[in-house]
Amino acid sequence: MGGSTGLTRNWDFMRQVGAKARQQLIRAAATRLEIPEGRCKTRTGYVVCDAIGAEIPYQDLVAEAAALPAIEEDVPLKDLADHRIVGKAQTGVGAKDIVTGRAKYGIDTKRDGMRYAAIARSPILNGTVKSFDASEAKKIDGVLDVFEIKGPKPNEPYQILASGVAVVATSTWKAFKGRQALKIKWEPGPNAEDSSDKFWAENKSLLSTKGQVVVDDGAFDEAMGEAKTHITHTYEVPFANHAPLEPQNCYAHVQEDRCHIIVPTQSPSGASRSANAVTGIPRENIHVEMTRVGGGFGRRLSTDYVAEACMVSKHTGWPIQLQWSREDDVKNDFYRPAGTHEMHAGLDGNNKITAWSQRLASASKHYRRPNVLDENLWKPELYSDDFPRRIIENLRLEYHHNAIGVPRGSWRAPAHTANAFVIQSFLDEIAHETGQDFLSLSLELYGEERELEYGNHGGPTFNPGRLARLLKFVAQEIDYKTPRKEGRGVGLATHFTFGGYGAHAIEVTVDDGSLSIERIVAAIDCGFAVHPSAVDAQLQGGTVDGLSTALGLEITVKEGRIQQSNFHDYPLARIAEFPSRFETHILPYDDIPTGVGEMGIPSAAPALTNAIFAATGKRIRRLPILEQLRVGG
């Protein structure tokens, strides 16, 4: 599942399933008691008929209920207020297995006859194997087979990410050791000169020319011409690695006419498609089993590791557990796209924003996706109906694609992480430069509650008044209006993400280049919270993810090679970076639940950088943050 849709897509459907099952149990009880259905009702695990004092536990009725014909027509649903589980505090499913070490993840898979595999992948983007010498690797006791894995051609869709050499052994460690002993000569290929420096320079030069105009509301040029004040700033958002804590892995057993896959993935259908593409076995003969997943964040929407495991199993005929190392995972990813955003605003004599544009040069997420036309590469980068569309009348969005050879994909809340940072930062800059207060300016722009058309994922509508409510709430909680002393400051931000609404207020101190987050207030409006503890957990986790990534994480490229490799140079934040004053709030809205997995991230980073500005006067226009505080002071 992706896009925070797990609950929303199934909510009405699952409620009907539950209601029909309950009705079926009532029917079975009424039949047994020979009374009309209408005289029976349910009460925590029992069908009861108070009039005759009957009480039958569900478990006694299951067989009879299952034997009845299924109810076709929709049945009335329980009132939300009457639910005993939905909307109430529950402990996570499987929590006890987790704390006792019994929960089974993909990496824990064991099957009879299983061998372990590791792959040495090209360290150069789109590089290939020129030649390899496996003689030392084969001397290692337990190494069973070594062979080449062919990657996709440059610019072809990715079945797998890279060419390489596979090592199959009797244990994970032996496969890793065998891989280390390989001597491989790589053919550099077309991307061997790619670098981050070149990427940012190319973006700058792309932005000096006119791009593809993808939204052009009102009369932008005229409005800019008439504006009394013009404000322009440029922001940069880097590539980021998903880094789920369980490195990619997959069990595959490819046989003559069938294939068995056991895999931690967000996409079982993708797993089946990958296995089919590699083996040619019809999908009805491909059996995919899902395990618990040690983190996804969008990485496990791709199923390249499934294709790899199938290639190795097909080649050897053995059941294979393919295991990636952390280094494999950092260096081979569908990274969050990087981009340069040039923002323009025009304001009239009353400091009202009358024109707005976002000009973006980025590495589109849809690069090398099958069946994507070049003219549509902008779509996953600029969500065309995001704020301030339909609020600022004269609005233009413009796009340039940078075709750097870094693979990219969906990273939790995809383009919202970049766009919320850019838009909420720019709004804060406009406020400061025109002597306005960020909160007042924001509230004026969002305005009253009303439904605006929203055609992107998370629509069909967007209610900016719900953002206003959240922003006011977090501002009040953190006592935004009270001035702080020198070196201390509060920042605010809010964003609409895939149907749900989030906001953050963050208070920081910056002392001689050293940043401390003193307090975090986060709020979510997900309509109706079905599982409040999980909603709260997602808000906490999303906030941590947004801040951790903004603080210190960046993937860079040099000579066609990803430069980071493990947690020493891709330093995910630890507990010490987050304050004990970490407050999360769920603001109920209506009875329609939205997703919750991604709403906690986008507004976290700009709330932090707005706070840093409030504390120091230093504007952070490029992520990640920490290096700039250290260097620039």
Partner 1 sequence: NGKPVSLSVEGDTPLLWVLRDELNLTGSKFGCGIGRCGACTVHIDGQAQRSCMTPVSTIENRNVVTIEGLAENDELHAVQKAWLELDVPQCGYCQAGQIMSVVDLLKRVPNPSDKDIDELHNNICRCGTYPRIRKAIHRAAELQGGKS
Residue type, 572: L
- The residues in 509-528 that bind partner 1, with binding defined as CB under 8 A, are none
Q: Please state, in angstroms and rounded to a whole number, the distance separating the CA atoms of residues 220 and 366.
A: 28
Going residue by residue from 133 to 152, which x/- string records binding to partner 1, judged by CB under 8 A? --------x-----------
Which of 102/150 has CB closer to partner 1?
102
Label residue 341 left, alpha or beta by phi (over 0 means left) and psi (-120 to 50 means alpha). Answer: beta
Stretch near partner 1 under the rule CB under 8 A, chosen from 125-133, 387-395, 414-422, 543-551:
543-551
Residue type, 366: H
Which of 58/578 has CB closer to partner 1?
578
CB of 292 to partner 1, least distance (A): 7
Q: Which of 541, 563, 618, 622 binds partner 1 (CB under 8 A)?
A: 541
- State the CB neighbour count (10 A cutoff) for residue 74: 11
Which of 1/231 has CB closer to partner 1?
1
CB of 114 to partner 1, least distance (A): 10
Residue type, 39: R
Q: Which of 32, 42, 582, 621 binds partner 1 (CB under 8 A)?
A: 582
- From the centroid of its chain, how far is CA 501? 16
Assign 440 to helix, strand or coil.
helix
Half-sphere exposure of 196 (CA within 13 A, CB side): 16
Which of 293/391 has CB closer to partner 1?
293
CB of 94 to partner 1, least distance (A): 7
Which of 96/230 has CB closer to partner 1?
96
Tell me: does residue 185 bind partner 1 (CB under 8 A).
no
- The residues in 238-257 that bind partner 1, with binding defined as CB under 8 A, are 243-247
Q: Please state, in angstroms and rounded to a whole number, the distance separating the CA atoms of residues 295 and 285.
A: 28
Which of 54/144 has CB closer to partner 1?
144
Stretch near partner 1 under the rule CB under 8 A, chosen from 165-173, 277-285, 357-365, 625-633:
165-173
Q: Which of 20, 326, 484, 619 binds partner 1 (CB under 8 A)?
A: 326
CB of 336 to partner 1, least distance (A): 15
Q: Please state, in angstroms and rounded to a whole number, the distance separating the CA atoms of residues 527 and 613.
A: 32
CB of 551 to partner 1, least distance (A): 13
Q: Please state, in angstroms and rounded to a whole number, the distance separating the CA atoms of residues 439 and 437.
A: 6
Question: For the chain, what's the residue count?
Answer: 633
Contact 480, 505 (CB under 8 A): yes
User: What are 105's strand-pairing partners?
Assistant: 292
Tokens of 73: 């027509």
CA angle 511, 549, 94 (to 5 degrees): 120
Stretch near partner 1 under the rule CB under 8 A, chosen from 168-176, 195-203, 393-401, 460-468:
168-176
Tell me: does residue 484 bind partner 1 (CB under 8 A).
no
- The residues in 74-133 that bind partner 1, with binding defined as CB under 8 A, are 91-92, 94-96, 98-105, 107-108, 110, 116
| Run of H or E residues at 43 | strand 41-43
Q: Which of 276, 424, 509, 543 binds partner 1 (CB under 8 A)?
A: 543
Kindly state the number of chain residues that form the binding site for partner 1, as judged by CB under 8 A. Answer: 57
Q: Which of 584, 609, 610, 616 binds partner 1 (CB under 8 A)?
A: 584
Tell me: does residue 487 bind partner 1 (CB under 8 A).
no
Which of 31/565 has CB closer to partner 1?
565
Which of 36/101 has CB closer to partner 1?
101
Residue with structure tokens 């069990």? 251
- The residues in 545-574 that bind partner 1, with binding defined as CB under 8 A, are 545, 548, 566-568, 572, 574
Which of 213/572 has CB closer to partner 1?
572
SS (H, E, C) 512-558: CCEEEEEEEEEEEECECCCCHHHHHHHHHHHHHHHHHHHHHCCECEE
Tokens of 613: 């500005």
CB of 572 to partner 1, least distance (A): 5
Q: Please state, in angstroms and rounded to a whole number, the distance separating the CA atoms of residues 58 and 174.
A: 52
Q: Which of 384, 436, 540, 563 binds partner 1 (CB under 8 A)?
A: 540
CA proximity to 15, closest of 108, 82, 67: 82
Where does 324-445 show beta strands of DSSP type E? 339-347, 353-362, 394-401
Which of 203/291 has CB closer to partner 1?
291
| Run of H or E residues at 278 | helix 268-279
Contact 553, 236 (CB under 8 A): no
| Run of H or E residues at 468 | helix 464-477
Which of 307/544 has CB closer to partner 1?
544
Q: Please state, in angstroms and rounded to a whole number, the distance separating the CA atoms of residues 250 and 375.
A: 35
Which of 385/536 has CB closer to partner 1?
536
Which of 11/578 has CB closer to partner 1?
578
Residue type, 4: S
Tokens of 587: 């603001």
Q: Which of 42, 172, 255, 351 binds partner 1 (CB under 8 A)?
A: 172
Q: Residue 432: exposed, middle, or buried by beta-carbon count in 10 A (0-12, 13-18, 19+)? A: middle
Which of 63/575 has CB closer to partner 1?
575
First to last CA, the chain: 42
Which of 12/173 has CB closer to partner 1?
173
CB of 499 to partner 1, least distance (A): 21
| Run of H or E residues at 524 | strand 514-525
Going residue by residue from 286 to 325, which x/- string records binding to partner 1, judged by CB under 8 A? ------xxxxxx-------------------------x-x
Tell me: does residue 180 bind partner 1 (CB under 8 A).
no
CA-to-CA dists, residue 426 to 374, 474, 555, angstroms? 29, 20, 24
At residue 150, φ and ψ (nearest 5 deg) are -90, 125
CB of 18 to partner 1, least distance (A): 23
CB of 328 to partner 1, least distance (A): 10
At residue 59, φ and ψ (nearest 5 deg) are -60, -30
User: What are 166's strand-pairing partners?
Assistant: 119, 147
Footprint of partner 1 on this chain (CB under 8 A)? Answer: 91-92, 94-96, 98-105, 107-108, 110, 116, 141, 171-173, 243-247, 292-297, 323, 325-327, 533, 537-538, 540-545, 548, 566-568, 572, 574-576, 578, 580, 582, 584
